[in-house]
Amino acid sequence: MFTGKGGVGKTTLSSASALFFSQKYKVLLVSTDPSGSLKEIFGIDFGEGVKRVKESLDVVELTRDTVLRLWREKFGDEVYTVISSFFPVKEEILDYIEGAPGIDMEFMLDYVLTALKSGKYDLIIWDTAPTASILSLLQVQYMFYSHLTQAQRVYLKIKSFIKQVDPLSLIEKWRKLTAEIIDMLKNDTSAWIVSTPEKLPVEQALFLAKALQEFGIEVKGFILNKVLEEGICSECEFLEKKRKTQKKWINYLLNQAKFPVKVVYEFTEDPTNETFLSQISQTLYERVY
C-alpha cells in the first residue's frame, strides 16, 4: 500500500510501481482514493469493475458508491436475515445500515482480500485515501471484530425467543472474515509511506509509520517525493531557499526514521505519462537516500 498525507504523490507512485512490477508479475492496482486520478494517468475511464490496462496489469477504482453496491450484492441478504431475525423490519433497513460508518471501508478490504484469494495476481498495489481515513480503516477492523463477538453473545442470550432462522452461523462467518482481513493486513501487506520534504507531511508520515507498525503492518520505508535536485538552479534565490527548507525536513526525517528513505525528484512536467512514471519507478526501486 502507498499511504501518506493528501497530495504527496500516492497515486502517481502507485501507478508507477504498478507499471514497473507488471513487467514481471501479474499486478492489480486498486485505488480507494476518492479523488480517483487513475483516469487521468492511464487515459481510461475505469467506471465500475476491473479493467485490463496491459497484459499483466488490471486496474480497479473503488469509489464509495461501487463499494456499497458490491457490499449489498454480496452481503445484503445475509445482513437482512440476521437483523430481521431480531426485529420486524423491511429490507429498507439495508439503506440505513449502508450509511453506517465503516461499512464501505470494511468492504473495500473484503474486495482486496477476494482479489488476493483469487490467485489471479502476484501483487496487489493499493493506492489509499489520505492518512485520516486509512487510520480509521484500520481501527474499524478491530471494532468490527469485537462487535461481531458481542453480537454472538447477545444472540445466544435471546436465542430461545427467535425461531425463524439461525443467524449465528452468519455472524460467525462475518467474524471469521474480519479476522481474515486483519490477518491479510498483518501478514500479506507492506506499506510505503509517501511524503514531500515539508513539515506537515513529514510529521504525518512519521506518525503513520508508528500507527501502521502498531497495527502490525510492515513498513517498507518512506518515499520523499518532489525533492528539488541539487544544483538545478544555483542562481535562483527562491529555489535555493526552498531547497534549504527541503533539506531541513529531509534531514529531520532521516534522523527520526527507523526505515529506509527513498527519494523521487520534482519533475518540471506532470508525471502522468508512462515515460515519467517509468523514470520514477527506476529511482524508486534503485536509489536509497
Least Å distance between CB 33 and Mg ion?
A: 4
Per partner kind, with CB cut-offs from 5 to 8 A, the member of ligand ATP, Mg ion, none near residue 130 is: ligand ATP
Q: Are 15 and 277 in contact (CB under 8 A)?
A: yes
Least Å distance between CB 149 and Mg ion?
A: 35
Kindly compute the dihedral angle of the four CA atoms of residues 72, 77, 79, 82, in this order, to the nearest 10 degrees: 180
Chain residues that interact with Mg ion, rule: CB under 5 A:
10-11, 33
Judged by CB under 6 A, does residue 277 bind ligand ATP? no
Least Å distance between CB 63 and Mg ion?
A: 13
Residues sharing a CB contact under 8 Å with residue 234, sequence separation 6 or more, in sequence order: 240
Smallest CA-to-CA distance from 173 within 154, 153, 148, 156 is with 148
Of 48, 95, 183, 270, the residue at the interface with ligand ATP (CB under 6 A) is 270
**Which residue, 16 or 115, has its beta carbon nearer to ligand ATP?**
16
The label of the residue with cell 541539487 reads: 230
Per-residue x/- marks for ligand ATP, 115-144, CB under 6 A? ---------------x--------------
Per partner kind, with CB cut-offs from 5 to 8 A, the member of ligand ATP, Mg ion, none near residue 270 is: ligand ATP
Burial of 61 (0-12, 13-18, 19+ CB in 10 A): buried
Q: Are 10 and 3 in contact (CB under 8 A)?
A: yes
Per-residue x/- marks for ligand ATP, 52-91, CB under 6 A? ----------------------------------------
Of 33, 58, 61, 110, the residue at the interface with ligand ATP (CB under 6 A) is 33
Q: Are 97 and 78 in contact (CB under 8 A)?
A: no
**Which residue, 130 or 197, has its beta carbon nearer to ligand ATP?**
130
Smallest CA-to-CA distance from 22 within 91, 140, 122, 167 is with 122
Residues 89-108 that bind ligand ATP (CB under 6 A): none
Smallest CA-to-CA distance from 162 within 97, 237, 83, 107 is with 83
Judged by CB under 6 A, does residue 3 bind ligand ATP? no
